[in-house]
Amino acid sequence: MKKIKVWDLPTRLFHWLLVISMAITMILIHIDGLWIDWHARLGYLILALMTFRWLWGFWGSQYARFSQFLKSPQETYQYIQQKDPATKPGHNPLGAWSVMALLLSITIQALTGLFMTDEIAFNGPLYAYVSSTWVDYFIWVHHQNQYVLMSLIALHLGAIFYYQVIRKKDLIGPMRHGYQEVDERHLAADDHWRLRSRALIIFLMSALVYFYFFL
């Protein structure tokens, strides 16, 4: 066994920024209608984080790429059936599907938010561009999807707790410092400054677009 870099800095920053902004935006919407503007601003930030992550799945370092961690249903089933599967770098095949479900659900939540209204003082930036039938539909999705999202987050935290405490496999450490103990034959992920600048450009460009057009 040896310790190798698995999560590049951009993926780790993405994750912890996402956790903080998701937590705050969910709390704000439930405490007071006055915080709706900040709920939306954090929503734009989350949208930029999502744009980054979808692109990073193609242009990111080795273990952040979808092609590396997305496995077919057959392979995922085989993984579940193993009693003590080897520790491979990155997401395991089952975890990978839950990551995709999280990314999809968060993206849907942030996108439908753009068409929302609180019917008092706040209209989302794209509210005026669609018919009332579509607005009603997006409002419905924004309301219903929160339960899907909360269930996925609960599942995410439950799975991590299970791995940390019951299976004694540290997943949180690698998401903090980037290093994971794996089998000798695996290669470390790139995490050099050229790659990091690429991530920064992708993120800043999308944040700029959203904040410029929506704020």
- The site for ligand HEM (CB under 6 A) is made up of 11, 14-15, 18-19, 22-23, 25-26, 29, 33, 36, 39-40, 43-44, 46, 53, 64, 91, 95, 99, 102-103, 106, 109-110, 113-114, 116-118, 122, 124, 142-143, 146, 153, 156-157, 160, 171-172, 175
Q: How many CB atoms lie within 10 A of CB 74?
A: 8
**In angstroms, what is the minimal distance from the CB of 62 to ligand HEM?**
12
Nearer CB in complex with ligand HEM: 172/201: 172
CA 129 and chain centroid, separation: 28
Q: Number of helices (H) and strands (E), helices first, in the chain?
A: 8, 2
**In angstroms, what is the minimal distance from the CB of 185 to ligand HEM?**
19
CA nearest neighbour of 50 among 20, 25, 15, 23: 15
Nearer CB in complex with ligand HEM: 164/205: 164
d(CA 48, CA 42) in angstroms, rounded, equals 10
- C-alpha torsion angle, residues 7, 157, 141, 14 (rounded to 10): -20
Q: Is the dihedral of CA 171, 99, 79, 90 positive or negative?
A: negative
**In angstroms, what is the minimal distance from the CB of 192 to ligand HEM?**
19
d(CA 146, CA 149) in angstroms, rounded, equals 5
Nearer CB in complex with ligand HEM: 146/205: 146
Nearer CB in complex with ligand HEM: 110/189: 110
**In angstroms, what is the minimal distance from the CB of 150 to ligand HEM?**
8
Nearer CB in complex with ligand HEM: 125/205: 125
Give 129's DSSP letter: G
**In angstroms, what is the minimal distance from the CB of 92 to ligand HEM?**
6
Please provide the distance, in angstroms rounded to a whole number, between the alpha carbons at the two ends of the chain.
50
